[in-house]
Amino acid sequence: MKYNRLGQSGLKISKVVLGAMSLGSSDHLKWAIPEDQALPVLKHAFDRGINTWDTSDVYSFGESERIIGKALKHYNIARERVVILTKCYGGIPEPADFIGLSEEEQLRMLSVNDGIMVNRIGLSRKHILDAVDASVERLNTYIDVLQIHRLDRNTPREEIMKALNDVVESGKVRYIGASSMHAWEFQALNNIADKHGWHKFISMQDYHSLLYREEEREMHAYCRDAGVGIIPWSPLARGLLARPYKVTKEQPTLRQTSDVYSQLLVGEVTEMDVNIINRVEELAEKKRCSMAQIAIAWSLKKGVNPIVGLASINRVDEAAEAVALASNGLMTEEDVKYLDELYIAKGELWMVE
């Protein structure tokens, strides 16, 4: 495994980041794997050098964080050898909060800072501090990078940045990062931190893949100019880039049929999408590797550290070997151009709003 600095910080992360959304409980996510299956995956990732793990407090309502904390203890992994990224913004309800509510009502409840979830969602100083305390308790350790999962536009920006600065100063968090928002908003937040001498964001986690490259225009340009590391989520476009489109259409995975976010992200698959997927398949056959490895290697060639959901030992090996594909010359600049040339600009992702 190879490592690089996260932005201009001194922190080094693995070229591929393990995405832990798939580690948790099928009670919350039908496609999530439980602790007994997740622990060996984390150990194998560590053994393969994938030492950077990305989770969130809302993944399986905290279960993903708890499993990561359990892995460190269970396998006696020295804390300084692992980089743990987690997030705050979303709310974690109590089991009793859902009684008598439909699935639609539950989703609505979890998206509004009001009613039973008041002050349990968003980026108020109160919620940031509460969320960090809860994450540290579940992980049973400090947080290397705390990321704001989304931007709370109902809380003053200075309040957000002061609270984030304070959790770093408290020692519970080492660095701060952010996720999907407009580039100008991200710059505005960093400008506030710069003005006050507070800790600034060292990373941006946005949606970026062969099928969605809108972030290259402004967000990635700003990040590179400002020295912010880029760690995109869903580089496989929720699995679309991992299999021939015909197979996906005829035999969708459990996640593709049950993940509401996947359906919102992908939406209607366009002719352009299918053509790009076909080229990924073509290159995979030519280079005798998997389609997922082609898509991951493409991300790496773009100078970012992709976050890849890894829910099996085979997927860990696949991701680790994609790093070699990108670095040993097997994935050429001509290959990258061949994959790039079909892309047509899309509308901005709804999640940025």
Residue 90's nearest CA partner among 142, 141, 28 is 28
The Cα–Cα gap between 50 and 148 comes to 23
Q: Which of 59, 89, 175, 207 is catalytic?
A: 59
The CA-CA-CA angle for residues 94, 96, 98, to 5°, reads 90
Q: 96 exposed, middle or buried (CB, 10 Å; 0-12, 13-18, 19+)? A: exposed
Residue 142 annotated among the catalytic residues of the structure: no
Catalytic residues, by residue number, are 59
